Amino acid sequence: MAGSKEIRTQVASIKGTQKITKAMEMVAASKMRKAQERMLATRPYAEKIQNVVEHLSQAHPEYHHPYLQMREPKRVGLIIISTDRGLCGGLNINLFKSAITSMKEWDAAGLEIDLTLIGTKSGAFFKRLGGNIVATATHLGDTPSIVELIGTVKVMLDAYEAGTIDRLYLAHNEFENTMTQNPLLKQLIPVAAEPDEQLKDHWDYIYEPDSRPVMDALMIRYIESLVYQGVVENVACEQAARMVAMKSATENADDLIDELQLIYNKARQAAITQEISEIVSGAAAV
Amino acid sequence: MAMTLHVDIVSAEAEIFSGTATMVFAPAEMGEVGIAPRHAPLVTRLKPGEVRVQTQEGDEMSFFVSGGMLEVQPHVITVLADTAIRADDLDEAQAMEAKERAEKMLSDKSAELDYAKAQAELAQSIAQLAAIKKLRAKS
């Protein structure tokens, strides 16, 4: 019975792998649920702060914040949010591809690019690719906290205020549902506030102590909350993508086992047939 | 009926409180403020301290905030609470750290990055082997 032992060990090893992928699938499924809840929990803050910022961009305080001003771009900043771990299908690669497409466009337009990378995967990728990386944040885990992002975001905000960069973009995955996650690129600065018709003849706020520090503090928090939301959403995407990837890996292992089982049975049958024919021909010779 | 206002206390990581109140006290930067319904629109920064909410039933609830922003409209109050302790020099230190991490990552050939590189090279060689195998099978 040539090869049957090898086939048996191969089946056993695939079964072992299958157990792991199955376990990872279930872990990812439960983590995804939690990540989705966390994603929803960040919504109220984001909506509220967005409302305030929109009101402020309509109001006319004596101080016009730089984040609301359009500048002719010479250099752009891009924050890319990736996962820390692999085994999540094409999630990171799809995001990097879409980011590279935009980067090529900027490059063609003669713009230079500064990168800020969140997550180890983007670090490894863009280091290989070569790019001007100015800041990174890694190992945020499944429950990222905003504290870990403040510094990373500040590097980009400082660069904007110093005039080093004139635009700031954020690239992350958007969680549509369990099966679909889309790479998304959005502009953070200048803040694109849509003019609201209702607010045309609109009151201005009382600023305490003054419009300037209030606006500064608010704008920084606004950008941070957008980045934080991106990070939280990316975690949900990561878990969903991993769940789907592991599910298909488990199914593939099933197919492989079936196939190998068939080959094994055939080999076994062939060996038995051969043995019988040997015995029969041996008996006939006697 | 007593006049009320709607209060939302939210932090970047979670919603903390949402409900109606008759009066809200908050630790604004220029001193504690008490906001009653129909207050003029106001935006201010908050110091670390206690936000107290008086409900219609006369109860008082208090929430600790480590700073943040307060937005007041005649019938809506929004407290955007910080989850982190903020200070300019603290933020600066964290920004420096983020920059250092980037520099370290670029200069450092640590195990993690080498692993990623090795993985990429392995994938390449596997693809090459598969192509060679196919060619051999054809000839």
**Per-position pLDDT tens, chain A of length 286:** 557 888 999 999 999 999 999 999 999 999 999 999 999 988 889 888 888 888 777 776 677 788 888 888 899 999 999 999 888 888 999 999 999 999 999 999 999 999 999 998 898 888 888 788 999 898 888 888 888 888 899 999 999 999 899 999 999 999 999 889 999 999 998 887 665 555 555 567 888 888 888 888 888 999 999 999 999 999 999 999 999 999 999 999 999 999 999 999 999 999 999 999 999 999 998 8
Give the CA radius of gyration of chain B: 28
First to last CA, chain B: 92
Which chain B residue has the Cα nearest residue A124?
Answer: B113
| Beta-bridge partner residues of B70 | B44, B79
Asked if the Cβ–Cβ distance from A155 to B99 is below 8 Å, we say yes
Strands (E), chain A: 75-81, 112-118, 132-137, 167-175, 181-189, 206-208
Chain B nearest C-alpha distance from A240 (Å):
21
B28 touches chain A (CB under 8 A): yes
Active site residues of A: 88
Residues in chain B: 139
Which residues does chain B have with pLDDT short of 70?
1-2, 85, 108-117
- Helix runs in chain B, H state only: 88-107, 111-138
Distance in Å, alpha carbon of A40 to nearest chain B alpha carbon: 8
Query: With a threshold of 0.90, does the pTM exceed it?
Result: no
Which chain B residue's Cα is nearest to A208? Answer: B44
Read off the DSSP letter of residue A201: T
Please tell me the predicted confidence (pLDDT) of residue A200.
52
Please name the amino acid found at residue A187: Q
B60 phi and psi angles, rounded to 5 deg? -125, 125
Answer whether A11's CB lies under 8 Å from A261's CB.
yes
Structure tokens that stand for A153 in this block: 């975001």
d(CA B119, CA A86): 11
- Please choose, from the candidates B88, B73, B65, B90, the residue with its C-alpha nearest in 3D space to the C-alpha of residue B35: B73
Please provide residue B111's backbone torsions phi and psi, each rounded to the nearest 5 degrees: -55, -40
Q: What share of chain B is helix, strand, coil (3-state, %, to 5)?
A: 35, 40, 25
